[in-house]
Amino acid sequence: MKRLLIPLALAVATPAAAVEYLDDSPYARRRSLILTVGPGATYSERISGDAAVSGLAGQLDLGAAITVGYEGDEVFLLARGSTGRPGEELALITGYRSMFGSESWRTFFDLGVSVRPISGPWLGPRIGFGARHTLSDHFALYGGLGFTFGFGSGLRADTELFTGLQWIIPVGSAS
């Protein structure tokens, strides 16, 4: 009986070891890299020492995101250049975007961190919300409102209005 068990175990284990793992879950088919570009405006108020500066600035966002989970949520990184009353600034923003809805119109909520390494430096939390309209499998328009608080070289608060175009590139088994 022992002689029969060893060849039987080998016969079962050999094909199982040779099988390649294939991720065919719904999540794998929805994975995407998302590139973003868009203009916006920011109203800033900041206090550094005895000086207070406030004003409106124009901005340009360049970013990338990768979808995570089953609902199309995103982890994103954004570089934002701005110029205006508070001065020229560069902000790096990273965070998590929760998407809601399943049709061509979706809403979202952002939770993240903003770092302004040049004009300060400043570091602080950021929240945002907005809507996205999917134009096709590869393009979407989005817009929203965000709030950032900064600490470091004093205190600052920013209110931002952002818009843009997203280029959606399927990755993994979706490509």
Query: In the predicted model, is pLDDT for residue 28 greater than 80?
Result: no
Per residue in 132-146, pLDDT tens?
999 998 999 999 999
Give the pLDDT of residue 30. Answer: 67
Which CATH number goes with the domain that contains 103?
2.40.160.20
In the chain, the number of structural domains is 1
HEC assignment per residue over 75-136: EEEEEEEEEECCCCEEEEEEEEEEEECCCCEEEEEEEEEEEECCCCCEEEEEEEEEEEEECC
The answer to whether residue 83 is domain-embedded is yes
Query: In the predicted model, is pLDDT for residue 24 greater than 50?
Result: no
Residue holding tokens 């999917």?
134
pTM: 0.78
Question: Do 62 and 38 touch, CB atoms closer than 8 A?
Answer: no
Query: In the predicted model, is pLDDT for residue 161 greater than 50?
Result: yes
The answer to whether residue 45 is domain-embedded is yes
If pLDDT is split at 50, 70 and 90, which confidence band does 22 have? very low
The answer to whether residue 9 is domain-embedded is no
Per residue in 71-129, pLDDT tens?
889 999 999 999 998 788 999 999 999 999 988 899 999 999 999 998 778 999 999 99
- Domain with 97, as residue range(s), is 32-170
Length of the chain as a residue count: 175
The answer to whether residue 19 is domain-embedded is no
Query: In the predicted model, is pLDDT for residue 14 greater than 60?
Result: no
Question: Do 44 and 86 touch, CB atoms closer than 8 A?
Answer: yes
Q: Residue 137 and residue 55: Cα distance in Å, rounded?
A: 39
Q: Residue 110 and residue 108: Cα distance in Å, rounded?
A: 7
Q: What is the Cβ-side half-sphere exposure of residue 104, based on CA atoms within 13 angstroms?
A: 9
The answer to whether residue 12 is domain-embedded is no
